[in-house]
Structure 1
Amino acid sequence: MLTLNDCIALSDLLPEEIEEISRHERLGFVPAMAKGHNLLNQPWGPPAIRQILRDNLTAAVRTSQVERCGRAMETYQGFQARHPGGIDRRKRL
């Protein structure tokens, strides 16, 4: 039987990244994990997740949540280092 930790490991996301997706998409932890994993399997997925993380960081800055800003920035930078590529589907060639 798979545990939650096994599923997190298989998702290729860190728990804090899943929490940020959950917050942005207003989903529970497990559905957010599934959504994040599915996004990572798309060529435009990493840029989409980076945008989610930037949106959350912007919201934290706008509401002056200093502690959350620090965590959101660390999460964003860690994700960007681990998943640098992808095609931003919003950009036209």
Structure 2
Amino acid sequence: MLTYEDCIALCGLNRREVEAIAEHEHIPPIVATELGNYLCRNTSGALCVQRYILDDIAAAEKRGDQHHVTVLQAVLRHFIATHPSRDAAAAPDTYLRQQ
């Protein structure tokens, strides 16, 4: 039987990245590991994960939860650093300017 930690290790994301997907999609974190694994297999999926995290940042800003904003910004930086792609490198700046 696989544990949650096993699923995190297998999905190619860290715990906070999985939690950001779960938060955005309103799904259990264990389900978010599979979704994240699937999305990170291509450029458009990686951009989707970035968008999820940016949406979570915007929601936290709207709630006035600055601590969560700071945590999610670190999550986004880590995700971009560990999931580079030819299209994803410029995407976050573009998305941040839209907000």
- 1:17-63 deviation digits (Å, cap 9, x = unpaired): 11110010000011111111010123311111001000101111121
Q: Given the two structures, how large is their TM-score scaled by the length of structure 1?
A: 0.86
Is 1:58 equivalent to 2:72 in the alignment? no
Superposition RMSD in Å: 1.5
For structure 1, the 5+ residue unaligned runs are 89-93
User: 1:6 Cα shift?
Assistant: 1.8
Greater percentage in helix: 2
Change (3 A) 1:86 1:30: farther
Match of 2:15 in 1: 15
- Report the identity percentage: 28
Q: Distance in 2 between matches of 1:54 and 1:69?
A: 10
Q: Within 1, Cα distance between the matches of 2:62 and 2:84?
A: 26
1:21 and 1:49 in contact (8 A); partners too: yes
1:1-93 counterparts in 2 under 5 A?
1-85=1-85, 87=87
> Which 4+ stretches in 1 moved above 6 angstroms?
none
Query: How much has 1:86 moved relative to structure 2?
Result: 5.6
Q: Letter of the 2:55 partner, please give it.
A: D
Runs of at least 5 residues in structure 2 that lack an aligned partner in the other structure: 89-99
TM-score (norm 2): 0.81
